[in-house]
Amino acid sequence: MVRAGVVPGRRAAWYGSAGLLLAVLIGGVIVGVFGLNRIFTGIAIGVVVGIALMFALFGRDGVLLSEQSIVRRTPWATSTIAWDRVVAGRFALDEHARWSLALDLNGGDEPHQELVLLSIPPVVRPIANAYDHRKREQVNEIRTMLRQQRIPVVILPEIADALQRHWRIAPPTS
């Protein structure tokens, strides 16, 4: 099973707002019950609980690629997409000048859908930190899964060149 997916900006803002609201609420309750002498305790507990909520929301949001199907999850819903709905994959620039690995889907409610699996900043140097290493692993895992499912992947030449030169990821053969 491969974990992927990109949380849209609007949903990420809602998750952050929910965490902040919960932190303020819990901090206010602790200060209200125990008095002003516990303001720092209220802030600390509120921040910890707010961050825990945000981790839970972001952790639940994503896409899981398995041998049988693709599972798209949000904190409030789960949907399954069969592999036979996937037309192709593409690794290209998105509207924010980031590299986006997406699947093109057919069928369903809309005539043409897109499922973004990964969005990373352009690769301009060898792996320098844990983030780069994790994203390289994720690209390899997704490519392996797509290869096993016989999904063709189109990749821009400049992206293929940068991945090969900096991250030592060979371009797709099919």
**pLDDT digits over 113-142, tens only?**
889 999 999 999 999 999 999 999 999 999
Beta carbons within 10 angstroms of residue 148's beta carbon: 11
pTM over 0.75: yes
In sequence order, the β-bridge partners of residue 69 are 82
Q: Tell me the C-alpha to C-alpha distance, in Å, between residue 118 and each of 14, 22, 134, 137, 174.
A: 21, 29, 12, 12, 20
CB 89 within 8 A of CB 104: yes
Backbone angles phi, psi at 80, to 5 degrees: -115, 135
pLDDT in tens, 21-74: 999 999 999 999 999 999 999 999 999 999 999 999 999 999 999 999 999 999
DSSP letter string, 84-110:
GGEEEEEEEE-TTS-EEEEEEEESSSS
- Is residue 95 very low, low, confident or very high in pLDDT (cuts 50, 70, 90)? confident
